[in-house]
A and B are shown apart, each in its own frame.
Chain A
Amino acid sequence: MDFNGLSIDQAPPILAPLRFFITAPIFGILAGVLLLFSDSATLMSRYSIDAIVVAHLITIGVFGSIMLGALTQMLPVLASANIPKVKTVATFSHAALLLGLFSMAFGLEMSNTLLLWLASLLLGSGFLVIIGSMLYAIKGVQHFTASIKGMLVSLIFAFMIVLMGVYLLYGYGENDVTELHYIVANIHSVWAVFGFAGILIIGVAFQVLPMFYVAPRFKQFCKRRVVLLISTGLLIWMVLSIFAEEYALYAKLWIATFFWAFATTVWIKFNKRKRPVSDVTVWYWRAASLFLTLGSFLWIYDEFFKHEYIVMVGILIGGGFILSIMLGMLYKIVPFLVWFHLNALGYMTIPTMNEMINKNLSRLQFVLFILSLVGFVFSFYMPGFLMPSSLSFIVSMAILEYNILAPVWIYRATRKKKPDFDMSAFSMT
């Protein structure tokens, strides 16, 4: 019988997840700066270089990182699945992804073949090492809950989109952008949003909403079937979009319906939650559910307008739904990690979670973030909105960085003091 995961000794070292969280807002700031200097007409096209770079600074640099960091922490706790050599894997993958992302951004902007090759190598290995290790860890799980199944399926999608991403980057490097390139790019983006991020969020929500907000549990049908039904939809959509594009809309409708239903369910569950607490994390869940609803409808609507609105769909779903959930989660996970690790080391007189991050700053960060999203949507019609929205986004990401670092500084300062209790007597080793 495997007892791993039941001990603080088995919990990953605090820096394994934290390193991903600490660098995430920096890429948000970089994306904001690029938006500030981009032309709004260029950004309207999803395949323009600027749009691709901004999209990946956000998807890989911000939410990809946050998701991987969170999984590093959650897999041992939620699933008793311990990632082998977690410290090495996290350090390597994090460094490879950072360098890979810079290489990709500069490689694409300067059409530099060497940098693009380097980017494919670094991003490919960075992602595959950590995703592979996580899949390996899940292999040993004995009791599969709905959340763990969600994580597993999401990681499989992640694996596939990374392979596609490497192919796409290689195409840019070789200057060999064929019709197949666009087909793969389309599958890559839809699977990344709905397969990797979407399914992961749904899987985690099954567990997190009832637990942390004492909201009503999800129905058995949701927990047992929804992930399977969405994955099937994504597979069917892929086949149709390759071989019978005229029918792909039906698969899209199928996928969008489940996500819209999820958004509505989340909203209702928050209305019925037993905990009255309404902090910034609740606001983020609420915002995510609204943006997801709008995004799902627009994704279908867009089909009838020659994909004119696809970038707007990206803002609503990528920024409004996925990023909102990620940011909300950070506000819980970072202070808790700091508290938990310090407490387990025997420090008893430490600030509570709520005292680690200034409430007003987290509210300000939320407001600026939402304003920037709304502004980005409007900048489609009024290009003048792009500059203030980008500035608002940059400031919100800078505040986020500060809000993440504040608990980390508390951790560092406390570690310099002597613990109140010596817990080494309880140590297993």
Chain B
Amino acid sequence: MSSIKEYLTNDHRRCDDVFAKMEEQAHNSLLDAKELTQEFVADMERHFQMEERVMFPEFETKTGMTMGPTEMMRQEHSQMRNLMSQLLEAIENDDKDKFFGLSETLMILLQQHNMKEEQMLYTMAQQHLSAEADRIVEMMDSLIVE
């Protein structure tokens, strides 16, 4: 079983790949990109929930920090959720300029968010939760998105 850091980092890269495919499809035809955009949004939502419903609470319980870095990450998740809902709206309105404006903004926000998680939070989580890592990864793996 992989570590928490490895598991969530790999999931970031997987989302990046779906993002790139989504943009490529949107480049050709925005309406045809609807399915890939929905897939990307669903993958992201799953990732957010793995963190918000499993990893963050475990981390908070262990360290006692409920208003620390995890809270900041939740705030950035909500910024991204907002952008993603606008992304789907842009497809409905067939507005290509809006779509790429949003995707560019989302991409940079997402990458700097990932960087903070991968370099700081996941490393800390791995250190604090190493004994329970297998169980936590399994819980995240079997999560059913709400």
A277 near B73: Cβ-Cβ < 8 Å: no
B20 near A214: Cβ-Cβ < 8 Å: yes
A353 near B108: Cβ-Cβ < 8 Å: yes
B111 near A211: Cβ-Cβ < 8 Å: yes
Q: How far does the alpha carbon of A6 sit from the alpha carbon of B123 in the complex, in Å? A: 13
- Given known A3-B69, A274-B17, A426-B71, contact A354–B104 (CB-CB < 8 A): yes
A79, A274, A355: the one within 8 Å of B20 (CB): A274
User: Which candidate, A102-110, A169-177, A178-186, A335-343, is the interface stretch facing chain B?
Assistant: A335-343
Q: Does A352 contact B (CB under 8 A)?
A: yes
B116 near A336: Cβ-Cβ < 8 Å: no
Q: How many residues of B contact A (CB 8 A)?
A: 38
Would you give the 0/1 interface string for A398-429, flagging 1 where the beta carbon is closer than 8 Å to chain B? 00000000000000000000000001001010
A340 near B109: Cβ-Cβ < 8 Å: yes
Would you give the 0/1 interface string for B68-80, flagging 1 where the beta carbon is closer than 8 Å to chain A? 1101110100010
Q: How far does the alpha carbon of A145 sit from the alpha carbon of B114 in the complex, in Å? A: 14
- Chain A residues with Cβ below 8 Å from B73 are 6
Would you give the 0/1 interface string for B100-116, flagging 1 where the beta carbon is closer than 8 Å to chain A? 11101101110110111
Q: How far does the alpha carbon of A144 sit from the alpha carbon of B82 in the complex, in Å? A: 33
B119 near A214: Cβ-Cβ < 8 Å: no
- Chain A residues with Cβ below 8 Å from B71 are 426, 428
B102, B104, B105, B120: the one within 8 Å of A6 (CB): B120
Q: Does B60 contact A (CB under 8 A)?
A: no
- Chain B residues with Cβ below 8 Å from A340 are 109
| A residues whose Cβ falls under 8 Å from a Cβ of B | 1, 3, 5-8, 77-80, 143, 145, 207, 211-212, 214, 274-277, 332, 336, 339-340, 343-344, 348, 351-355, 423, 426, 428
9 residue pairs, one from A and one from B, having the closest CB atoms: A352-B101, A274-B20, A354-B101, A6-B69, A211-B111, A214-B20, A353-B105, A7-B72, A276-B27
